[in-house]
Amino acid sequence: MAQLTEKEKMLKGELYYAFSPELIRERNYCARVCNRLNNEPELTRRLMVKHWRNLQLDDTPMPPELPDQEADDAQFPDEPWITPPVRMDYGYNVKCGKNVYFNFGCTFIDGRLITFGSRTLVGPNVSFYTGSHPTDPVIRNGTNGPEFGKEIHIGEDCWIGGNVIILPGVTVGDGAILGAGSVVTKNVPSFHMVAGNPARIIKELPRSSNPDLKTGAEVPMADMAEKLEDGSRF
């Protein structure tokens, strides 16, 4: 049996060496594409989609450009919206459904897959970390040691507040809300709100598919910290 490459080990979640020539080349390519995206003087919808597809290694031909800007924008109704700057390690491991939005300053350590369900909204300065390292410093061994990763999966219709950090192996269920500044270390059930460091469940969320839950005004994210401090529930 042929020995796995470091990239193949990375994608399988095994220990791998990140400073192999192949992975260095791929990170450098991703950095160049991110730099172009981040420094466009006028980031049109067409340019945004073009850079996104380059990050995805997607060679699907772009539709012919239309002279009317709005009409041309309308040719890309489902691809993600990205407000720069954005940082990724590889780019091709970030997969999105339809109508996903990333606000500015998002970071993706995407040695493993990071998926987003349709209509999910991501606030500014949110970080998704699939990467991890051995806890034994002798094995960890700085840049000469191995690392590994665990996938992150975000469901459909989620809302992730600003400055949230999502750690390796986390799955967030459909319709969940992650309060601003949360550090998410464990899975989040569908249609639940979490907040805090580490994030904990605040309440179950109303939805049209569950008439047993009361509907009403949403609690602003800015109020979450105060609620957490006094121990009350929303």
Res 198: pLDDT: 98
Res 78: pLDDT: 96
Active site residues: 133
> Which tens digit of pLDDT belongs to each residue from 125-164?
999 999 999 999 999 999 999 999 999 999 999 999 999 9
Q: What region does 175 belong to: left with phi over 0, alpha with psi -120 to 50, or beta?
A: left
pTM of this structure: 0.89
Contact assessment for residue 196 and residue 215, using Cβ atoms and an 8 Å cutoff: no
pLDDT above 50: residue 110: yes
Q: What percent of the chain has pLDDT over 70?
A: 89
Alpha carbons 185 and 33: distance in angstroms, whole number: 30
Alpha helices, H only, the chain? 6-12, 21-38, 45-55, 69-73, 137-140, 224-229
Alpha carbons 82 and 89: distance in angstroms, whole number: 16
CB neighbours (10 Å) of residue 122?
A: 26
Q: What region does 230 belong to: left with phi over 0, alpha with psi -120 to 50, or beta?
A: alpha
> Which tens digit of pLDDT belongs to each residue from 149-206?
999 999 999 999 999 999 999 999 999 999 999 999 999 999 999 999 999 999 999 8
Contact assessment for residue 111 and residue 130, using Cβ atoms and an 8 Å cutoff: yes
Res 207: pLDDT: 78
Res 1: pLDDT: 72
Pairing of strands 192-195, 121-122: unpaired
